[in-house]
Amino acid sequence: MTFPLFDLTGKRALVTGSSQGIGLTLARGLAEHGASVVINGRDADKLAAAARGLSDSGHDVHVSAFDVTDHDEVKSAVDSLERDIGPIDILVNNAGMQFRAPLDVFPSDKWDQLLRTNISSVFYVSQAVATHMIARGRGKIINIASVQSELARPGIAPYTATKGAVKNLTRGMSADWAKHGLQANAIAPGYFDTPLNQALVDSEEFTAWLEKRTPAGRWGNIDELIGAAVFLAAPASSFVNGHTLYVDGGITTSL
């Protein structure tokens, strides 16, 4: 049985930062709904292993190793993908990083790295892909924001700043590109058990706090992000634009 509103057959998705964690999970989820996927990262061994896993499951997968923080490299890679593999119909900007330190002693080089990785990359890759999407009059862009697009927590102020910027850049993409047939939206995950959060997952104190703070009472499982991604990538969301969808167990709804 197929459901046309959520069918991605014949579509091609580029997912940045997808050799592991949320990115790989979203790539798998899109593939399971019919999309051909292009996974991206900088670690060739991790990418190869991820590609094998997807391919062994019967999915159509390609690998594109490029640095999302390098504007010229991004443009060259995207243009090559469009020429050699085919049109990118869906872009998921997932690449990101975290660094924790009190704001008053936060290293300036880590501030710069966070900006490049978490927000500049979203602009670089989206601009490169959107140029082709605009010419075709259609396209889906999904940016990975965070509950930190709305909330702050001690020790991660610069990360919070970048994720707030992702939310507003998503709105700006909609304002500029909706008239060309593009839908640009964001998914804002709450606290999920991923490599990026390993230090927090390993902390009994933090986990206890999180379970008490989150109405759902638990960490999220990364598979629970797939539905949101498929919805925003599929025809079902054809009139959804500039929206940030929180998948957070209710943590942004309560004190």
Catalytic residues: 159
Distance in angstroms between the alpha carbons of the first and the last residue of the chain: 42
| Closest by CA position to 166, among listed 242, 61, 228 | 242
User: Rounded distance, CA 180 to CA 176, Å?
Assistant: 8
The first and second tokens of residue 30, run together, are 């899109």
Can you tell me which residue has the tokens 């050799």?
19
Residue 228: which of 248, 252, 251 has the closest Cα?
A: 248
Torsional sign, CA 92, 226, 86, 20: positive
Q: Measured between alpha carbons, how far is 100 from 98 in angstroms, rounded to an integer? A: 7
Strands 90-93 and 12-15: parallel
Other Cβ atoms less than 10 A from the Cβ of 78: the count is: 25
- Report the chain's C-alpha Rg in angstroms: 18
Q: What b-and-e string marks burial along 115-129, b requiring 16 or more CB atoms within 10 Å of the CB?
A: bbbbbbbbbbbbebb
Q: Match 């119909």 to its residue by tokens.
A: 89
